[in-house]
Amino acid sequence: MENSHTRKRPRLEDDGDKAAPARRGASPPLREDDRDGHYVFNLGENLTPRYKILDKIGEGTFGRVLECWDREAREHVAIKIVRSIRKYRSAAKIEIDVLNQLTENDRDGSKHCLRIKRWFDYRNHICIVCEKLGPSLYDFLKRNRYSPFPVDLVREFGRQLLESVAYMHDLRFIHTDLKPENILLVSPEYVKFPSRKRNSHDEMQFRCLPKTSAIKLIDFGSTAFENQDHSSIVSTRHYRAPEIILGIGWNYPCDLWSIGCILVELCYGEALFLTHENLEHLAMMERVLGPIPEHMIRRANSSASKYFRRGTRLNWPEGAVSRESIRAVGKLSRLKDLISQHVEFARSSLTDLLYGLLRYEPSERLTAREALEHPFFKNPA
Ligand SMILES: Nc1ncnc2c1ncn2[C@@H]1O[C@H](COP(=O)(O)OP(=O)(O)OP(=O)(O)O)[C@@H](O)[C@H]1O
């Protein structure tokens, strides 16, 4: 993940490993962390006497996520064990602060954000205990070999995602790292359908769809506060808004840009802006959405102004690093064509919503609450 945040938040006080009295067994003997600072464990052993480690369910920059059995609450939980490195420990304390506020303000659990149960500091690893959720939307796309979701399901996901982000924005939080990997289905259950496509041996293909559409947002490790200094680069590349690349300052609207990119991806199967480089990324945006407004180009910071000629026009294809790059941009279609190629129903209202979420000018972009009022959600065909 390309992310370089400087966070200045008061440190939280550790509440120590006083999670629970020992019930069965004890903690394993002290072991050294691996060279990346990850906690080393075996499945089936205890993580403190309260939690039995059942499975590893995820790994990210900040640490590993384990499924554990909570002997005291008698339930399955997900525990993020943060790497024992100072910068990740500090970031985890911010994530705990955000999770606590999101959970406390959501009394009835209707806001589609992951709920924290508690946290503790164990052998120099911050452990964040949360409700256990199912696979991510990215896991589903991958499992289905990147075939898109049906538009009715995209509508359900989009509505919940916008509700969670509207809730975060009301609390003056900006998520800054929205992507299909950070959107989890609540239930792991799925149904298998025969797909219309056959493989190269003319065999029947199957595709999996979630049995229920409830989702929750996770990963608040990069969450920013509206009233705080915003570091220049945030978001995972494919979901990064133009104002971040141009260095002209970002705020709440960067989350709405990411949601626009995510909704296209759910309908299309693959990331819309599949790139790792700024100029190519801006060229892809122009191909899909038309020219970047001149008033934004004129405000670009010194490192971004080199992507433009005479201060107004993108230096493309002249500045491309390779023919492949020019080809990758040329392969993309305009947004409305891309949607009509991949979506069967509700094309025009979905396209209109997406143009509202993917406005270049952040102040003109739909807010989360405005997007929720859009006909795509209000008057489904
Ligand atoms: N509560 C949960 N229930 C089930 N799986 C989870 C849960 N929380 C996290 N995961 C899984 O663990 C993975 C890593 O979690 P998370 O994104 O919080 O870690 P991270 O280190 O902050 O990641 P990143 O590198 O994106 O910042 C997720 O992509 C998801 O697959």
Which residue ranges make up each domain of the chain?
Answer: 12-131, 137-378
Mutate to test the pocket of ligand 1, among 218, 235, 238 (most ligand atoms within 8 A of CB): 218
Count of CB atoms situated within 10 Å of the CB of 244: 22
Q: What is the DSSP string of 86-98?
A: HHHHHHHHHHHHH
What is the CA(344)–ligand 1 centre distance, in A? 33
Q: Which residues does ligand 1 sit against, CB inside 6 Å?
A: 1, 57-58, 60-63, 65, 78, 80, 114, 130-133, 136, 181-182, 184, 218-219, 221
Residue with CA closest to ligand 1 atom 17: 219
Contact 215, 183 (CB under 8 A): yes
Contact 51, 68 (CB under 8 A): yes
The predicted structure's pLDDT at residue 117: 98
What is the CA(60)–ligand 1 centre distance, in A? 6
ipTM higher than threshold 0.90: yes
Checking if the pLDDT of 12 tops 50, the result is no
212 Cβ contact list (under 8 Å, min separation 6): 185, 186, 187, 189
At 5, which amino acid appears? H
Provide mean pLDDT across the span 319-337: 96
CATH of domain 12-131: 3.30.200.20
Q: Which residues are catalytic?
A: 177
What is the CA(82)–ligand 1 centre distance, in A? 11
The predicted structure's pLDDT at residue 343: 86
The predicted structure's pLDDT at residue 201: 67
Mutate to test the pocket of ligand 1, among 57, 76, 94 (most ligand atoms within 8 A of CB): 57
Instruction: Please write the tens of the pLDDT for every residue from 95-123.
Output: 999 999 999 999 999 999 999 999 999 99
Instruction: Please write the tens of the pLDDT for every residue from 31-70.
Output: 999 999 999 999 999 999 999 999 999 998 899 999 999 9
* 87 annotated to a ligand binding site: yes
313 Cβ contact list (under 8 Å, min separation 6): none
Checking if the pLDDT of 371 tops 60, the result is yes
Split at pLDDT 50, 70, 90, the class of 196 is low
Structurally, at CATH architecture level, domain 137-378 sits in: Orthogonal Bundle (1.10)
Q: Is 359 strand, coil or helix?
A: coil
Cα–Cα distance, 307 to 141 (Å, whole number): 33
Q: What percentage of the chain exceeds 70 in pLDDT?
A: 91
Contact 64, 93 (CB under 8 A): no
Residue with CA closest to ligand 1 atom 20: 60
Inter-CA distances, 246 with 129, 153, 234, 297, Å: 38, 34, 12, 7
Q: Is 137-378 in the same CATH topology as 12-131? A: no
Q: What is the mean pLDDT of the chain?
A: 90
What is the CA(127)–ligand 1 centre distance, in A? 13
Whole-model pTM over 0.95 = no
The predicted structure's pLDDT at residue 6: 26
Instruction: Please write the tens of the pLDDT for every residue from 207-255.
Output: 899 999 999 999 999 999 988 877 778 999 999 999 999 999 999 999 9
Q: Is 32 strand, coil or helix?
A: coil
HSE-CB for 177 with a 13 A CA cutoff: 20
Checking if the pLDDT of 10 tops 60, the result is no
Mutate to test the pocket of ligand 1, among 2, 4, 5, 65 (most ligand atoms within 8 A of CB): 65
Provide mean pLDDT across the span 335-352: 91
Instruction: Please write the tens of the pLDDT for every residue from 249-288.
Output: 999 999 999 999 999 999 999 999 999 999 999 999 999 9
Split at pLDDT 50, 70, 90, the class of 200 is low
What is the CA(130)–ligand 1 centre distance, in A? 11
